[in-house]
Amino acid sequence: MRNVSLKQLRMVAAAARGRSFAAAAEALHVTPPAVTAQMKLLEEEVGLPLFERDPTGLVPTAAGQEMIDAARRIEAVLQEARESLDAMRSPDGGRVTVGVVSTAKYFAPRLLAAFAREHPRVELELVVGNRSDILSRFEAGELDLSIMGRPPVEVALESALLGDHPHVVVAAPDDPLAGLRDLAPERLADRVFLVREPGSGTRTLMERFLEKTGIAPRIGMEIGSNETIKQAVIAGLGLTFISAHTVAAEIEDRRLVVLDVAGLPMWRRWYVVRLARKRPMPATRALLDFVTHEGREFLPVIPGLPERAPDA
């Protein structure tokens, strides 16, 4: 049945409702001969008669009823598509897939929840991964928007600044270095560091800091989760270089402390980005505007650290 058309199915349904090809022609604004010709072609394609006649007019056969049922299902699917497209045309409907690097998961859900309260009909999907994972999916066009620290330079994109992003070294509260002021980076040289996996933006930034200061601390564990790293540091297994936004709660309740190391914090920035080649739907544009104008308010406040970089 590869040659069956929606036009033919609509003619079958109209003929059944009106009990004649003439009624179908009138309902669909075509000529009766056109309906007759199309019904003949459809019966040849199906290989079965579609109608019988009784004193009241045309009556669908079992094959004809199958065609009518198919027409109803297709019309229902098309109606759903029309409704979805109408929603996409409005910033109050549609679907947006947002990718965030794992460090951003400490504020992105609250940010998206605030947007959802203003746009309850927009369906949001949150994808979390390390930088290399999110970049791969972003560049493949799988994400409508992404929140990350360093926008890629290899692809054309639209980006907007969300806010400043400090990185620090943290320790357990009873660490010998806790509370000391203006520590020289060399004081970290003999310490064990717990680090993220290769491909993580935090790992890359840590390696830049260590290279800049010329120290090479011992790597105790390579851990693919900020949560696990935090618990390991709290337990006294070592220090870690980490986004301050991931440890705001632990610093506030004194489960972790920020070491006052010269040259830290290292400041980066959060951006919201989208691929230039991917035409944004109204809901995507609405979320991009919301994040651009309201996003800074959702960044964690770190006790003892400025909210913005000194040169911001």
In this structure, the answer to whether residues 185 and 151 fall within a common structural domain is: no
The residues, ordered by sequence, that sit 6+ positions from 140 with a Cβ below 8 Å of its Cβ are: none
In a domain, 308, yes or no: no
Compare 184 and 78 and report the one with higher pLDDT.
184
The answer as to whether 188 is a domain residue is yes
User: pTM of the predicted model, to two decimals?
Assistant: 0.70
pLDDT reported for residue 87: 66
Q: Do residues 281 and 257 both lie within one domain?
A: no
Dihedral, 50, 55, 57, 58 alpha carbons, nearest 10: -10
Q: Is residue 187 located within the same domain as residue 252?
A: yes
pLDDT at res. 106: 94
Cα dist. 254→7, 179, 265 in Å? Answer: 71, 12, 19
Same domain, yes or no, for 135 and 281? Answer: yes
Q: Which amino acid is at 2?
A: R
**Do 143 and 290 fall into the same domain?**
yes
Assess if residue 272 is contained within a domain: yes
- Pick from 233, 36, 273, 28: nearest CA to 134: 273
Count of other CB atoms within 10 angstroms of residue 312 = 11
Given a contact cutoff of 8 angstroms between Cβ atoms, the answer to whether 264 and 171 are in contact is no
Task: Decide if 179 is inside a domain.
Answer: yes
Which residue in this structure is represented by tokens 């056109």? 34
Regarding whether 172 and 155 lie in a shared domain, the answer is no
Tens digits of residue pLDDT in 1-42:
678 999 999 999 999 999 999 999 999 999 999 999 999 999
Domain co-membership, 150 together with 288: yes
Q: Which domain holds residue 37?
A: 6-88
pLDDT per residue as tens digits for the range 222-274:
998 999 999 999 999 999 999 999 999 999 999 999 999 999 999 999 999 99
159 DSSP β-pair partners: 273
Reported as a single tens digit per residue, the pLDDT across 143-196 is 999 999 989 988 999 999 999 999 999 999 999 999 999 999 999 999 999 999
Q: Is 145 part of a structural domain of the chain?
A: yes
21 and 56 co-located in one domain = yes
What domain count does the chain have?
3
pLDDT at 208: 92
State the Cα–Cα distance between residues 59 and 65, nearest whole angstrom: 9
The confidence score (pLDDT) of residue 198 equals: 86
Residues 277 and 210 in one domain: no
Looking at every residue in the chain, the average pLDDT score rounds to: 92
Q: What percent of the chain has pLDDT above 90?
A: 78
Is the pLDDT at 312 greater than 60, yes or no? Answer: no
Regarding whether 202 and 159 lie in a shared domain, the answer is no
Is pLDDT above 90 for 79? no
Domain end point (choices 32, 59, 88): 88
Residue 306 lies in a domain: no
Do both 201 and 58 map to the same domain?
Answer: no
Read off the pLDDT of residues 207-221 as tens digits, 9 standing for 90 and up: 999 999 999 889 999
The CATH number assigned to the domain holding 51 equals 1.10.10.10
Is 249 part of any domain? Answer: yes
Q: Which of 58, 272, 236 is nearest to 144 (CA)?
A: 272
The whole-number pLDDT of residue 116 equals 96
Q: The CATH number of the domain where 290 resides is what? A: 3.40.190.10
Whether residues 284 and 218 share a domain: the answer is: no
Asked, for residue 303, whether it belongs to a domain, the answer is no
